[in-house]
Amino acid sequence: MTDAALAVSPAVTLSDRAAKRVARIISKEAPGTVLRISVAGGGCSGFQYEYNLVQETANDDDLVLQKGEATVLIDSLSLEFMGGAEIDFVDDLVGQSFQIKNPNAVASCGCGTSFAV
């Protein structure tokens, strides 16, 4: 990621719970697997988060979040929508899911993966 991109986008953080869950998931995959999170058009609020297990190295403009055995990649375009967000993992009575607490989102839907800016 360029210095200019770092100056514009506040950091994205990965909670300990999310890191543990990512590590558990990728431990069952082929070596070199990481979680790529991106923002795409769609969903009921205009944008949605996509989670993909990939076997790739980080691109020059990717944000690389590494905590313990967990590695998460976020591309620079998605980072524009996610700056300052926290990636968390929630396990409650409703179910288990990754949740992104995004300060840039002005609206979101009940599923937790769709948002508007």
In this predicted model, what pLDDT tens digit does every residue of 13-22 receive, in sequence order? Answer: 999 999 999 9
Q: Minimal CA–CA distance to 37: which of 68, 58, 16? A: 58
Please report, for the domain that includes residue 60, its CATH number.
2.60.300.12
Rg of the chain over all Cα atoms, to the nearest angstrom: 14
If one counts the domains in the chain, the total is 1
Range of the domain at 34: 3-116
Which residue would you say has higher pLDDT here, 84 or 5?
Answer: 84
User: pTM here?
Assistant: 0.82
Q: Within 10 A of 114 (CB to CB), how many other CB atoms are there?
A: 18
Partners of 98 in beta bridges: 89
